[in-house]
Structure 1
Amino acid sequence: MHVSFLTLFAMSAAALAQLGQVDIERPVAMTVRLGSEDTVSFRISQRVVTDIDLHVRGAEYSVPLQCTGGLHDVNFGTVELYTSGGEREKADGSFALPFDMGNEQDRRFGKLPRVQLSFSRGRLTEMLVTTMTSERSAFSSKLCSSLPVGPITCRDTRQLQSLAPEVLVPQLRDLPTPLPARAMASLIDGERRRRSIYEELLDWGAKSIPSLVAGLKDPDVRLRRNVALAFSVLSGGWWQFECGPATLDIRPALPVLDVRAWAAQAVGGIGANAADAVPALTELLKNGDEGSRNSACIALGQIGPAAKAALPALRAALADMSQDVRRFAARAIQRIEQ
């Protein structure tokens, strides 16, 4: 575990006030440096820390402390930043901010109460205060009954498992294809599992792509098919995630494999239930890669009459420079108009 110690304001607020350096009675911000770029600022009003703002690894975090009534007697000289060297922790941006608080009357067995704020994947995940109960034991409790995340967003309410992409992607292997009708999806355990995995992969963002690309190279056709479908869902903007439509930028994967073509084929296999994907497939008809245009035509034809909105683009594809694209476009038009 790497520990980066503060390099600024190594005194308590009371000591600084006595020195006349800070007017504690007026709102102020005490900034502590935790390395070359990381900082934490304590906003203080009437000698009480009311908010904590952090800049860690290039990201900003804000922790309001109204739920605690503010923190009294924070010992700024004990602020530390804990980061782990593990690959998983680096990937999800985990770190902790511990510091002491209280005065001599609060000291137990030689130690002051220790506060620790823990963060993971861009969120505050835990706020604990630990007090010694003997020379060798301690008791930890929550600072607040619920985390002060500020205005609650849909993203904060999802039940994510915090599984890494390399763990999530193999779980796609046994999911059924094609997708069932939307009205039935919520009733099928496998589809609830699919939605959970998709939500988790979306939450990881670009960090999901290497594991998904590896899945497209897997010898098991079941995994390849489901990964291709996941690429379409995550990048197409047509799947209704819990927080509404969302899009994962898959451009980093394109130099490795023609992901769009794979995804189009997977979506086409869904049939009429993939009508929401028609705009994305129509846009794929403009792709410079012939294989992608072929796949888009095939997928639109498989969707059938539900893809009527794509007919103008398919008719334009009848003039494509590729004979195969022209042939697949004509076949798609026929199937949509039947």
Structure 2
Amino acid sequence: MKIGPYSLNSNLVVAPMAGVTDRPFRKLCRSFGAGLAVSEMVASNSLLYGSEKTKRRANHEGEVGPVSVQIVGADPDMLAEAAKYNADRGAQIIDINMGCPAKKICNVMAGSALLQNEPLVARILEAVVKAVDVPVTLKIRTGWDKDNRNAVNVARIAEASGIQALAIHGRTRACGYSGDAEYDIIAAVKAEVGIPVIANGDITTPEKAKFVLDYTRADAVMIGRAAQGRPWIFRDIAHYLKTGELLPHPDVAETHSLLNSHLHELYAFYGEHTGVRMARKHIAWYTRGLPDSAGFRHAMNQLLTTREQLDSVERFFAESTGHTYTMENEMAA
């Protein structure tokens, strides 16, 4: 799959997730075979460029290209300015967020709220494409609600505006993350446009990835929540697509080693105070399905230093040696 001049080394994409797809997580997923990892969304408000949070979200030091930065906002000029700002600082692909269903985003008419205003969608896309020399991609949902599914119309607008790839989460904004993903609409979009289409939503296993690729004829699949605590899912999917064989779940020792490596990356990236807090959710995700993991996760949330976290993780995995994962791990993905 190509996006502009960039040929991806696989058709597996890491979905942008606020508070999750930071640089350590993106690098980890890429190491397991993801062909592209889109950043957390960066606000288009120029007043936020100097904040530490925004600087971290735009930090791509040491990442394998192409580097994709997602921007969010509702004003064409501000989004164009944000695109240029990030392109000038190393972004090789600019992704526009029109898929986020969060109330705080939609209440300012950004994210998936923009799907209600197709003329504004066109103005935004045209302004951003014109502002930068790098490829621009778009993330959308199937529509605003079940009575207003307009993904096909928006896809036509995107292609006409110069968008070079389109990711679709197969739910409306009103659906949030409930119900089943609407693969029929993704298939309809793929049949309508010539630009690459990336299917997103409910892709939790290698078998599901193959089904979605076959059913929708999409060029790639985008994995979000299923990669939380399971970054090896990209390796598993790539292997299954190539061979038809399923790889075994990593054993407890391998999971422990991977978690330790991830934790040290988080601590180095965020520092002691923020690193400990960011690590809590990742520790919870990695330990799903192991005996007594619920009590361990509760106790973990009380710890305040990196040393305490690492020691607690060491003890937990020492006690878990010899155990296997339960279905909780798979179902939670």
Q: Which has the higher contact order (CA 8 A, sep 6+)?
A: 2
TM-score under structure 1 normalisation? 0.26
Structure 1 or 2: more helix by fraction:
2
TM-score by length of 2: 0.26
Larger radius of gyration: 1
